């Protein structure tokens, strides 16, 4: 199993300024590479304190590339529904070149109503727009004189520049959250799968089976293999008691900021987002202890964290990579650094063989 860092800024101006947030995230990225982690991931969002500091994961990853030598750089995710494929393909290929071929591109459909409203896009069209844009980006990376005619964009005889450094293109992932069809589609398309198991890994086990079955049906006998990466909050401290104290404070902040961003779902429905209505109510009622007792976060001393990682991997049916959120809730840099230090020194040697 491989491990990395997952960043999603959830700061308010009172808890961390944008300058401080990115300074901390870059320092943690360098520390992660030195500690033996494999990847750094950043997420795109707008407008809300949940993710809104980072409208450009590729911009952040370019800065990480300049400070590191080997760590993989992952968008987790860019939101293709908000971008033209010519632009997205070119900007991603640029970061692939800057980093010497270290980019992984993760795509997500986007799900925050305020983002769609502000950008003047229909949520009910998001699935088709998401899939058409990914398909178009892959063509621009691998073909010349590409023409497209879709309800969302059109162009004739486009040859994208720069060409990807990795051939035929950077590894591609897609995020899935609740909709079974999303897991099946990603498997059929041969993409890697990104998940965030919010409450319990048990609820994702059947979805991972859908993904893997669809992948093997479509790509059995080829060199392609299904890949699953999970993002989880992590706190490691010298004792379970100290780790739980930190988790209670900063997971509560994380959940509160997230709940505010999804609160429009309390009064919104969309045929493209079955099961999302009331999402804010669910988050507001979720206790931090529920996350780390049921596996949606990993919290404890090094020995406890080793045990909980093994349990998580067993309950969910096995993942290839875990990407740790270690600075959630605008956690101060010293506390996040301590989690990363303890994980790399005392936990990683015991779990990387999973």
CATH fold of the domain at 2-351: TIM Barrel (3.20.20)
The residues, any chain, with a CB within 8 Å of residue 246's CB and separated by 6 or more, are: 235, 237, 299, 331, 335
Please determine, for residue 279, whether its predicted confidence score (pLDDT) is greater than 80: yes
- Residue ranges covered by each domain of the chain: 2-351
Please determine, for residue 1, whether its predicted confidence score (pLDDT) is greater than 90: yes
Q: What is the pLDDT of residue 294?
A: 87
Please determine, for residue 239, whether its predicted confidence score (pLDDT) is greater than 90: yes
Q: What is the pLDDT of residue 330?
A: 97
Q: What is the pLDDT of residue 210?
A: 95
Assign 302 a pLDDT band (cuts: 50, 70, 90).
very high
Taking only the tens place, the pLDDT of each residue in 93-102 is 999 999 999 9
Q: How far apart are CA 43 and CA 216, in angstroms?
A: 28
Name which of 51, 46, 41, 47 is nearest 8 in CA terms: 51
- Assigned token pair, 312: 């998580």
Q: What is the pLDDT of residue 88?
A: 98
Q: What is the pLDDT of residue 85?
A: 98
Taking only the tens place, the pLDDT of each residue in 194-214 is 999 876 677 789 999 999 999
* Long-range CB contact pairs, 198-201, < 8 A, 24+: 198/286, 198/291, 198/296, 199/286, 199/290, 199/291, 199/294, 199/296, 200/294, 200/295, 200/296, 200/315, 201/230, 201/295, 201/296, 201/312, 201/315, 201/316
Crossing angle of the two packed helices 180-189 and 202-219, in degrees rounded to 10? 30
Q: What is the pLDDT of residue 169?
A: 97
Name which of 334, 312, 331 is nearest 321 in CA terms: 312
Can you say how many angstroms the Cα of residue 251 is from the centroid of all Cα atoms in its chain? Answer: 17
């Amino acid at each position: 199993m491989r491990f990395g860092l997952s960043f999603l800024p959830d700061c308010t101006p009172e808890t961390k300024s944008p300058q401080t947030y990115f300074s901390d995230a870059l320092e943690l990225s360098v520390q992660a590479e030195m500690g033996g982690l494999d990847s750094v991931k950043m997420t795109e969002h707008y407008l809300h304190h949940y993710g809104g500091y980072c409208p450009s994961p590729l911009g952040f990853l370019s800065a990480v590339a300049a400070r590191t030598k080997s760590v993989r750089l992952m968008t987790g995710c860019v939101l293709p529904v908000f971008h033209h494929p010519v632009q997205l393909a070119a900007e991603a290929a640029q970061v692939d070149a800057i980093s010497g071929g270290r980019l992984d591109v993760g795509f997500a459909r986007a799900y925050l109503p305020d983002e769609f409203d502000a950008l003047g896009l229909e949520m009910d069209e998001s699935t088709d727009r998401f899939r058409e844009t990914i398909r178009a980006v892959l063509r621009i990376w691998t073909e010349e004189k590409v023409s497209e005619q879709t309800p969302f964009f059109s162009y004739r005889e486009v040859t994208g520049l720069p060409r990807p450094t990795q051939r035929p293109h950077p590894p591609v992932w897609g995020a899935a959250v609740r909709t079974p069809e999303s897991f099946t589609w990603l498997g059929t398309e041969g993409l890697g799968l990104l998940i965030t198991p919010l409450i319990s890994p048990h609820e994702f086990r059947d979805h991972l089976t859908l993904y893997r079955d669809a992948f093997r049906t479509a790509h059995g006998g080829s060199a392609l293999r299904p890949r699953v990466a999970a993002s989880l909050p992590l706190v490691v401290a010298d004792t379970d008691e100290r780790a739980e104290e930190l988790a209670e404070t900063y997971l509560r902040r994380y959940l509160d900021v997230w709940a505010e961003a999804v609160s429009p779902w309390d009064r919104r429905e969309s045929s493209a987002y079955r099961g999302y209505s009331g999402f804010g109510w669910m988050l507001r009622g979720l206790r931090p202890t529920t996350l780390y007792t049921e596996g949606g976060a990993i919290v404890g001393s090094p020995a406890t964290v080793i045990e909980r990682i093994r349990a998580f991997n067993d309950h969910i049916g096995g993942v290839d990579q875990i990407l740790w959120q270690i600075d959630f809730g605008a956690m101060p840099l010293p506390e996040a650094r301590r989690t990363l230090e303890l994980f790399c020194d005392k936990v990683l040697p015991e779990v990387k063989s999973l």
